[in-house]
Chains A and B, each alone.
Chain A
Amino acid sequence: MIELLAPAGNLERLKIAYLYGADAVYIGGYNYSLRANAINFSSEELKEAVMFAHNLNKKLYVTVNIVLHNKEIPGLVNYLKELANIGVDAVIVSDIAVINAIRKNKINLEIHLSTQASTLNYEAALFYKKLGVKRIVLAREASREDIKVIKEKTGLDLEAFIQGAMCTSFSGKCVLSNVTTNRDSNRGGCAQICRWTFKINDEDEIFSMTPKDLNMARYIEDMVNIGINSFKVEGRMRSVYYIATVIYEYRKLIDKMLSSTLKESDILYSNDIINRCANRESTAQFYTGLPTYKEQYFLGREEISNQDFLGIVLKQEKNKVLIEERNYFKVGDEVEFFGPNMAPLSFKINKIYNEDMEEIEVARHPRMQVYLEIDEALPEGAMMRLKVFDKNTYL
């Protein structure tokens, strides 16, 4: 089983993630979840999310991955029972109190061990296996060799991050946020102090510990070969455009890998698309060795924001496509559509119509609805972006 696992901070992003190719989505429930400042899901939304996933024959995992304090213990069992009743496919946990609550109360929930537990060796994995854990979300510090050995010695399902932001610290081993801002990093309040800048001794140059992002597009096939089952994208607080873009690209890479048609040009092209969407540089981080200064930022975050995301397809009637605008575009722009079950479609905008079907030159207001004339079929939810990369130049 090879699984592409997407994050979602709300129902809209969850639906986009599935439609763009995720096999499973992980979300935070209304309680006990890190990323406390993501929107997260109410009980009713959890039910809708499960129904949506299962109708597509896909899976939904719920994070219950905070480090619990005493006051959070009393409601825990009822919450877990509710998740089981709703029908979530697994919970992602880090605190042994949650594992014990599931075991001792015989709650029908599959347990995945969160990356917060920083599992880097097979003996730790075996300990958790004895506790009933079915899957280990590996520490982001796991090297290729570590992963291979853990798989060989445990036979457990292994999940690894393939895309997204990195913590500087071992997950769970950092309370800089608690000390500096009183926001609890292990209970969802992390203020990302590791992305701040520091003065070290009396040196003039700023000290930084900010890591570049993780990007494993090049290593997907190798990761399958050493036993990774689930490929996880980080970012429950990311936008719909980010989720759609990243999941779409990794879906293509995985499918091509599985059909033995993956080419170097596919990897290079997808990498450029993903990196531009993420606005950050990315590397394989620990997979190929201990990161050096090259895997960090030293001069601020060096991010270049863009307005590539132009709009979403709301519907199509014959050759009239209704677009909800996200960023400014105009007649003459070279754009690209991508969406569920479609290959990217390049298109030069020759006419734009407003809702009264009057011709206009520019779509300048976010959320305004405009029509374009396009002969090809476009699915609802397809996204329109500025065309920056041309696949033909990679061949």
Chain B
Amino acid sequence: MKKNKIILLVQSEDLIQKLKEESNITFLFPIKGFSVGFPKTFDIEEIKENAFIFVNRIMDNQAILEFKKLLDKLPKNIKGIVFDDLGVLNVLMNTPNNLVKILYLNHLNCNYESINAYLEFVDSVVVSTDITFEEIDEILKKAIKPVVLYTFGYVNIMYSRRTLITNYNDYYKKKVANLASLEDTITSHKFKIIEDPYGTVIYTSKPFNALNLRKKDNVLYNLINTVFLTDEEVLNILNNPLDLEDLYPYKYLSEKPTIVKIKEEEK
């Protein structure tokens, strides 16, 4: 059976130890100060394996300067970078380096033209999670280089620069931890919310299961985000050839096109 390579956005050091001999898996580390939305981030010195780094923070000028310093001291075992901010891309384009560059403009790379436009500057692009499987298929047919597909994991669905949990605690004199659960009072949708000094991220309350994308062509990596997953769950997902739809039925936005105008909904 066809088996694409996996890029694993990691949280657990134990899991890394268990998987470090797997040639099919590339570890992707969220980096302290440059990643948002993770209970665990890593100092660059902590990373011993050949790995990629994950930089999903929206950068202000100061953060860009700090990123340049990080780039200067990047050890040789760091082989690639997955990033969100185009300022990072500009720095990478103007700094000699051999990094594999993967652009992950969360929520924004939703069509083949945009993806191909960015592929002129980077090695690969993470396709948006916010489109249907049908749309992904068309992108895979038309992409000029292999792309990365978000294949399993909780989805980051809102990123604010505000420290929303701190603000709540300050207003009500509370001590809610920086990782909490949210439920809206109108439709009772549930979410996970996590805050760090660089902002607040809201995630879906269930992991998005797109394991069916593991068999697609023109894919550089299938991305599995392990945030909020146990090591056992991750191992089960990695080792099981099935799509595990009974265990993880949530398909996020992949099966039903979103509505653009309210009138469309009324039709």
Contacts and interface: CB of A to CB of B under 8 A. Distances in A.
Interface of A: 36-37, 66-70, 72-73, 76, 94-97, 99-101, 117-118, 120-128, 139, 141-143, 145-146, 149-150, 168-170, 172-176, 178-184, 186-189, 193-194, 196-201, 203, 205-209, 211, 286, 290-293, 295-296, 298
B161 A123 contact: no
Given A139-B58, A197-B184, A174 B159 contact: yes
Contacts of A96: 114, 117-118
B158 A199 contact: no
Contact of A67 (B88, B108, B167, B183): B108
Contacts of B204: 179
Contacts of B176: 200-201, 203
Contacts of A121: 59-61, 63-64, 85, 87
Interface in B88-105: 88-91, 93
B108 to A, nearest CB: 6
A174 B158 contact: yes
7 contacts: A96-B117, A97-B111, A121-B63, A168-B158, A170-B159, A173-B107, A196-B185
Nearest to B64: A121
B236 to A, nearest CB: 25
B85 A178 contact: no
B258 A126 contact: no
Contacts of B187: 180-181
Q: Which of A100, A120, A194, A208 has the most CB of B within 10 A?
A: A120
B257 to A, nearest CB: 8
Interface in B160-175: 160-165, 167-168, 170-172, 174
Residue from A73, A101, A123, A206 with most neighbouring chain B CB atoms (10 Å): A123
B111 A122 contact: no
Given A95-B114, A209-B164, A126 B158 contact: no
B167 A292 contact: yes
Interface string B178-218: 00111111110100010000010010100000000000000
B89 to A, nearest CB: 6
B168 to A, nearest CB: 6
Given A37-B262, A178-B253, A203-B176, A69 B90 contact: no
Q: A96, A122, A186, A196: which has the most chain B beta carbons within 10 Å?
A: A96
Contacts of B159: 169-170, 173-174
A122 B61 contact: yes
A69 B256 contact: no
B60 A146 contact: yes
Q: Which of A73, A184, A200, A292 has the most CB of B within 10 A?
A: A200
Contacts of A37: 261-262
B123 interface: no
A308 B40 CA distance: 53
Nearest to B56: A173
Given A70-B111, A174-B158, A186-B107, A196 B90 contact: no
Contact of A73 (B111, B202, B258, B259): B111
B170 A183 contact: no
B168 A187 contact: no
Contacts of B128: 67
B31 interface: no
B262 A183 contact: yes
B91 A205 contact: no
A120 B88 CA distance: 12
Contact of A290 (B88, B161, B172, B186): B161
Given A123-B64, A127-B90, A292-B167, A178 B258 contact: yes
B229 interface: no
7 shortest interchain CB distances as A-B pairs: A123-B87, A124-B87, A184-B258, A97-B113, A293-B167, A293-B171, A123-B90
A193 B265 contact: no
B114 A97 contact: yes
A142 B62 CA distance: 12
A183 B91 CA distance: 35
Contacts of B113: 68, 73, 76, 97, 100-101
Given A36-B260, A198-B183, A203-B176, A127 B253 contact: no
Contacts of A72: 111
B112 A169 contact: no
